[in-house]
Structure 1
């Protein structure tokens, strides 16, 4: 985090300390997100705009990643954040990436929308199932995005495969993985479905497709044994879903709005109510929100939600 952004965070925190007692109308809420150009930043910006349009001031505070801003929410220096369900559960329980670094003062406030992911391969590869990846080279490692290793492990496990059954191509992040794939160094690469980088890679290699995840009960159980917050859902082709040429089951996990325990229940209730009632406006600002279900904003991710969110949305 830069000195400039750190000072900005301190200033925001200072203004919040004096404003919390005055109700949501008087606050400037700090929203932690990934850096500019990421989907997390776009989500946070869309949320900040909708809140501001409905009388709740909010300021996006981008940083290097969830490991940087979730602790700030835990300490009360930021109020809200964007994170996936896997990260939220691990942070709250002090497991996985957050082993020994439990964040006891954060909680999910709302499910934003499902995030669809998968492994893509070249159209001429002959790979049509996850089981076909056995003996093939697959991007792995993800030293800058460590949660993704477990996600890839879960996808492989759905077909009774593991890292030992493929040839790992070590990459620091998904972008580098796509680039190595395009350069011919990997037979399969992990990425989020609907990302612009997938469309770019498709053009570079002359055609690619995502590999469907098996959706029978046993396969899903193996996947969820590794990532309990994930699930398998069927998606349809769409203009922004390069590599999805027909209806297919894929792995998904949810993006969540995270809130600090210091934020009053009534403020959290007001925030989630505004988001629920403006789902269509959110979708206009950022396409990912087209997957948001206003009637299903509290889902089980194995950790408790903020009580203000439960009071406003109901315990689904």
Structure 2
């Protein structure tokens, strides 16, 4: 009997040791960080379950578009996407840098400043964000009135000109446009006013002109056109070419005839609204998101959706495109406009 018990005990211990050995061979928790951990991270990326879409304020365009995009992403990819209100472009780039969201809206110029560590990002350079696609133009409108006598950018010399609120992207737009015309802020009597303050100043006669970067028609300028003969100062083609060559996030644009009661279209430039993503998102995730959005634009009811076209998605991007988005555009034969 004792021998039988001893034999059973030995068999039990042998079986137990084999089970423990098998468990140990599959346990990677004690390994140094290497290919096993990276594989786990990749798997998590490939099966992303939640995505934050950073937009802007509730009164702007980014938020309703972001809500529509989030629904499309959820319906088409299974990722539980949610649109979040934010302070828009600059804040969005910083939030992505901090890893607190996955994709976001931004102006193309603001995204470029962030990646290059310029202007408002001088001490806060962003190095983990890539482009998904450009969406629609945000037009740079140099606004004045017929009674001012201003007909060209050069005519702004010596005039009181608003260049936008301090720290805004409009300030940089104004500086760069003056630059290609051989001018600086020293050549004008610079005023730092919001759009509403700018158009009110033009109406009151306290300033002569203003730079406004926004989708046309812009409410503040429309209000001005109700009481004044609005003039949008054109930018000539050679200056547009020089601007785009030096600052590739610009694109040629126009303010259409009949906008602000204009009798004919006015040639100008625009930066663009764009979608960006954290660069550490997997190629598959960003490919699926890009495909979902561009193949379901008919489900977006916001008026700006009509301006979003896949053939324009790489125009004026200004920063590196995420490999997942690039894969989709390669499949569709989409290339940047020359």
Q: Same fold (TM over 0.5)?
A: yes
Unaligned runs of 5+ in 1: 1-16
**Equivalent-residue separation in structure 1 for 2:80 and 2:121 (angstroms):** 31
**Equivalent-residue separation in structure 2 for 1:190 and 1:103 (angstroms):** 27
Report the counterpart of residue 139 of structure 1 in structure 2.
Answer: 162
Report the counterpart of residue 9 of structure 2 in structure 1.
Answer: none
Superposed CA deviations along residues 79-107 of structure 1, whole A, max 9, x for unmatched, are: 11110111111212222321132211111
TM-score by length of 2: 0.76
TM-score by length of 1: 0.81
Q: Secondary structure of 2:224's match?
A: helix
Superposed CA deviations along residues 24-45 of structure 1, whole A, max 9, x for unmatched, are: 5xx3321112221122323323
**Equivalent-residue separation in structure 2 for 1:243 and 1:138 (angstroms):** 22
**Equivalent-residue separation in structure 1 for 2:44 and 2:262 (angstroms):** 46
Distance of aligned partners of 1:60 and 1:20 in 2 relative to their CA distance in 1, 3 Å threshold? farther
Report the counterpart of residue 319 of structure 2 in structure 1.
Answer: 303
Q: Is 1:105 the counterpart of 2:128 in the alignment?
A: yes
Unaligned runs of 5+ in 2: 1-40
Report the counterpart of residue 113 of structure 2 in structure 1.
Answer: 90
Determine which of 51, 57, 66 is the counterpart of 2:80.
Answer: 57
Report the counterpart of residue 214 of structure 1 in structure 2.
Answer: 236
Q: Secondary structure of 2:286's match?
A: helix
Determine which of 147, 160, 174 is the counterpart of 2:182.
Answer: 160
Larger radius of gyration, structure 1 or 2? 2
Report the counterpart of residue 261 of structure 1 in structure 2.
Answer: 279
- The answer to whether the Cα contact below 8 Å between 1:33 and 1:41 also exists between their aligned partners in 2 is yes
Q: Give the CA deviation at 1:114.
A: 1.9
Superposed CA deviations along residues 187-226 of structure 1, whole A, max 9, x for unmatched, are: 11122232222212222x333121111112xx23543476
- The answer to whether the Cα contact below 8 Å between 1:155 and 1:251 also exists between their aligned partners in 2 is no
Q: Mapping of 1:1-316 within 5 angstroms?
A: 20-21=44-45, 23=47, 27-54=49-76, 55-140=78-163, 142-145=165-168, 147-171=169-193, 173-191=194-212, 192=214, 193-203=216-226, 205-216=227-238, 219-224=239-244, 227-237=247-257, 241-242=259-260, 244-282=262-300, 284-285=301-302, 287-299=303-315, 301-314=317-330, 316=335
**Equivalent-residue separation in structure 1 for 2:117 and 2:235 (angstroms):** 29
Which shows bigger deviation, 251-260 or 287-296?
A: 287-296
Q: Pairwise CA RMSD of aligned residues?
A: 2.6
Q: Secondary structure of 1:242's match?
A: helix
- The answer to whether the Cα contact below 8 Å between 1:110 and 1:309 also exists between their aligned partners in 2 is yes
In the comparison of the two structures, how many residue pairs are matched? Answer: 288
Q: Give the CA deviation at 1:300.
A: 5.1
**Equivalent-residue separation in structure 1 for 2:91 and 2:318 (angstroms):** 23
